[in-house]
């Protein structure tokens, strides 16, 4: 049977505020246990929550970025359950009236991971995004067989972003997660650090026979803290579900945990029992009202969004959509591209090729971000300028690029120091060509008898004689003329 995979993602993005969502404790990562857990965070008797404006600003910014409707009045509710890392015995979250309502979408570009499928675009609908507080952490290292609780993370603001079940493969899920990851960083609401748990995804996975309308029973997979794990976990889970169904079994709706060491998902029984969260409006908090001025403020601080920038690159710079898509995966990369083109006064396609080619390769090789590139946009433009004005050839430029990367100076310094300046003096080139023609009469005869393939042989010799510095266009012209006799 042909099975269709149905996936919905729930993403928890920590908002990069200075203080917590309901207290004045700091949110910095990595502090000693419980030193950033204030009276409100540890839920001392009598303490009360006070809401952080920045959490609302960042959530609204996200809503505007995905084109969703913003609820002018949203309500915090209590989700009641007992867990040692949940100090109040309830999580303050939003249920009925989330700050970001329906209507949001994210445009994804998918490259199928297997087979020879074509890359394609797809629009993923985002159901809602709501504000809530993070829980603390349970540490299971050995404390005489007990668990240690660190509440530093408790109360860190989160926005939980929920999609419709629009994703049809692990590749689509990963493409969506990457796109979302890039967006939250782009608009500056989340640092996106997955190792530190700033960006965490849960996947609701089900399968159904191809052509069937109703959804199959789903399982929720938790702990997908890297894109690679997400892909593997979904693929494992899909295989598991299909095997069960093909053996005539039934899927049990449950929460499963991905174990990267074993590359499998397993049932989390502890989360299963009696999920009756008894949501009700938090009486310690009043309705959160977002007025027009608040929205204007959010719009005013919104950078140009990746989708708009991508379209602009295609329209104004004449870039292929694919290239524009890559350049707009992060604000830093897009900024680098724009700075390069500006300094160069055009030549967008050439700049793109260099950025996506040699520069990206070097950055990847050394594990660097674009912001840490030893070659700045201005310096890259300086190099490309020399190609444009014919000072060096593209081939020589690669050599200059390597030297720049190694810190030997800017393009002009290196060209000068290494004597890499292209020979455009036609007299000098003619002299080289004359010598080659004189030294290779047999090949000259061949060429003149119609075997034009030997032309390359002459180019090679001439380049070698000029140490690669001969202006290729000029060399071609002169060679052709002289060989023609």
Distance, CA of 326 to CA of 320 (rounded, Å): 10
Q: Are strands 199-209 and 3-14 parallel, antiparallel or unpaired?
A: antiparallel
Q: How far is the CB of 82 from another protein (least distance, A)?
A: 5
Would you say 18 or 480 has its CB closer to another protein? Answer: 18
Nearer to another protein, 268 or 465 (CB): 268
Q: Which is nearer to another protein, 54 or 194 (CB)?
A: 54
The CB-of-299 to another protein minimum distance in angstroms stands at 18
In the complex, minimum distance from the CB of residue 179 to another protein, in angstroms, rounded to a whole number? 27
d(CA 391, CA 402): 17
Contact by Cβ (8 Å): 21, 133:
yes
Q: Please give the structure tokens belonging to residue 480.
A: 């052709």
Is 469:421 a contact under the CB 8 Å cutoff?
yes
The separation between CA 17 and the C-alpha centre of its own chain, rounded to angstroms, equals: 21
Report, in Å, the least distance between residue 30 CB and another protein.
14
Nearest Cα to Cα of residue 476 among 460, 467, 465, 464 = 460
Nearer to another protein, 262 or 365 (CB): 262
**Angle made by CA atoms 221, 225, 231, in degrees to the nearest 5:** 65
Cβ closest to another protein, residue 34 vs residue 376: 34
Task: Work out how close the CB of 86 gets to another protein at its nearest, in angstroms, rounded to a whole number.
Answer: 9
Tokens of 84: 């040692």
- Among 217, 99, 236, 111, which residue's Cα sits nearest to residue 159? 99
Of 213 and 276, CB closest to another protein? 276
- CB contact at 8 A, 415 and 430: no
Decide whether 138 or 372 has the Cβ nearer to another protein: 138
Concatenated DSSP letters of 421-471 = --B--HHHHHHHHHHHHHH-HHHHHHHHTT-GGGHHHHHHHHHHHTTT-B-
With respect to another protein, which residue has the nearer C-beta, 39 or 361? 39
Residues that bind another protein (CB under 8 A): 17-19, 23-27, 32-39, 42-56, 73, 78, 80, 82-84, 87-90, 138-140, 143, 145-151, 257, 268, 270-271, 274, 276, 278-281, 283-289
The minimum distance between CB 182 and another protein, in angstroms, equals 24
Is residue 100 within 8 A of residue 127, CB to CB? The reply is no
Minimum CB distance to another protein, residue 292 (Å):
15
Closest distance of CB 53 from another protein, Å: 4
Which pairing describes strands 120-133 and 199-209: parallel, antiparallel, or unpaired?
A: unpaired
- At 79 the three-state DSSP class reads strand
At 209 the three-state DSSP class reads strand
Please say which residue, 16 or 330, places its beta carbon nearer to another protein: 16
CB of 291 to another protein, least distance (A): 9
According to DSSP, the β-strands at 199-209 and 137-143 are unpaired
d(CA 40, CA 24): 9
CB of 395 to another protein, least distance (A): 53
Pairing state between β 280-281 and 77-80:
antiparallel
Count the neighbouring beta carbons within 10 Å of the beta carbon of residue 182.
Answer: 17
Beta strands 280-281 and 199-209 are unpaired
Closest CB to another protein among residues 277, 455:
277
């Amino acid at each position: 049977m042909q099975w269709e995979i149905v996936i919905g993602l729930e993403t928890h993005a920590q908002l990069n505020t200075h203080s917590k969502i309901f207290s004045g404790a700091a949110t910095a990562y990595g502090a000693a246990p419980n030193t950033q857990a204030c009276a409100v965070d540890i839920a001392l008797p009598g303490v009360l929550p006070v809401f952080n404006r920045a959490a609302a600003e960042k959530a609204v910014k996200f809503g505007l970025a995905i084109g969703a409707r913003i609820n002018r009045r949203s309500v915090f509710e209590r989700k009641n359950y007992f867990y040692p890392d949940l100090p109040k015995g309830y999580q303050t979250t939003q249920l009925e009236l989330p700050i970001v309502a329906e209507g949001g979408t994210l445009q994804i570009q998918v490259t199928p991971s297997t087979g020879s499928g074509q890359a394609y675009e797809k629009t993923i609908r985002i159901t809602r995004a709501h504000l809530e507080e993070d829980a603390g952490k349970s540490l299971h290292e050995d404390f005489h067989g007990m668990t240690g609780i660190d509440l530093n993370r408790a109360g860190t603001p989160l926005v939980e972003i929920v999609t419709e079940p629009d994703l049809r493969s692990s590749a689509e899920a990963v493409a969506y997660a990457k796109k979302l990851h890039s967006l939250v960083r782009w608009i500056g609401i989340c640092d996106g650090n997955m190792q530190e748990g700033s960006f965490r995804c849960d996947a609701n996975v089900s399968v159904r026979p191809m052509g069937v309308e109703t959804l199959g029973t789903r399982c929720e997979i938790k702990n997908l803290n890297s894109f690679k794990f997400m892909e593997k976990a979904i693929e494992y889970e899909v295989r598991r579900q299909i095997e069960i169904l093909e053996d005539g079994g039934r899927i049990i709706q449950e929460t499963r945990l991905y174990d990267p060491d074993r590359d499998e998902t397993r049932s989390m029984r502890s989360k299963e029992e009696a999920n009756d969260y008894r949501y009700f409006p938090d009486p310690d908090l009043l309705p959160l009202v977002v007025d027009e001025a608040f929205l204007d403020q959010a719009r005013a601080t919104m950078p140009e969004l990746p989708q708009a920038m991508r379209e602009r690159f295609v329209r104004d710079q004449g870039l292929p959509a694919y290239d524009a898509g890559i350049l707009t995966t992060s604000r830093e990369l897009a900024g680098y591209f724009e700075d390069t083109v500006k300094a160069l006064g055009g030549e967008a396609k050439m700049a793109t090729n260099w950025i996506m080619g040699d520069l990206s390769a070097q950055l990847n090789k050394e594990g660097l971000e674009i912001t840490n590139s030893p070659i700045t946009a201005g310096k890259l433009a300086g190099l490309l300028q020399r190609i444009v004005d014919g000072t060096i050839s593209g081939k020589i430029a690669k050599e200059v690029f390597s030297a720049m990367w190694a810190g030997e100076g800017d393009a002009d310094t290196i060209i000068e120091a290494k004597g890499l300046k292209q020979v455009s003096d036609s007299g000098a080139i003619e002299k080289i060509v004359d010598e080659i023609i004189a030294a290779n009469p047999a090949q000259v005869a061949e060429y003149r008898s119609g075997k034009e393939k030997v032309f390359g042989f002459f180019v090679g010799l001439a380049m070698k004689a000029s140490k690669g510095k001969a202006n290729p266009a000029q060399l071609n012209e002169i060679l052709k003329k002289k060989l023609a006799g």
